[in-house]
Amino acid sequence: MATFRRFWENALDEQGRSILSIGSAKDAKEIIEAFFIPDKINPLSFSYNCEALLRQGMPSLRDIADPEQSPQPTPSLSRFIAVHDRPVGMPLWFIAAYPDVLLWYDNQVGEYMNVHRPDEDSLAAFSAELFGLDLTDPNLQKKLRDSIDKEGKFHPNILRNLVQSYKDKTGRELETAVKTPPEDIYLG
Rounded-to-integer distance, Cα 155 and Cα 94, Å? 10
The pLDDT of residue 183 is above 90? no
CA dihedral 135, 140, 143, 145 (to 10 degrees): 110
Residues 11-51: tens digit of each pLDDT? 888 888 887 878 788 888 999 999 999 999 998 899 899 98
The pLDDT of residue 81 is above 90? yes
Rounded-to-integer distance, Cα 52 and Cα 46, Å? 10
Domain that holds residue 138: 2-183
The pLDDT of residue 65 is above 70? no
> Is position 188 within any domain?
no
Residues 98-155: tens digit of each pLDDT? 999 999 999 998 898 888 877 777 787 888 888 888 878 888 777 777 788 888 888 8
> Is position 84 within any domain?
yes
What predicted TM-score, i.e. pTM, was given to this entire model? 0.86
CA dihedral 22, 24, 30, 36 (to 10 degrees): 40
Confidence grade of residue 94 (pLDDT, cut at 50, 70, 90)? very high
Rounded-to-integer distance, Cα 31 and Cα 176, Å? 15
> Is position 28 within any domain?
yes
**What is the model's pLDDT at position 154?**
86
> Is position 120 within any domain?
yes
> Is position 102 within any domain?
yes
**What is the model's pLDDT at position 11?**
83
- Number of folded domains that form the chain: 1
> Is position 62 within any domain?
yes
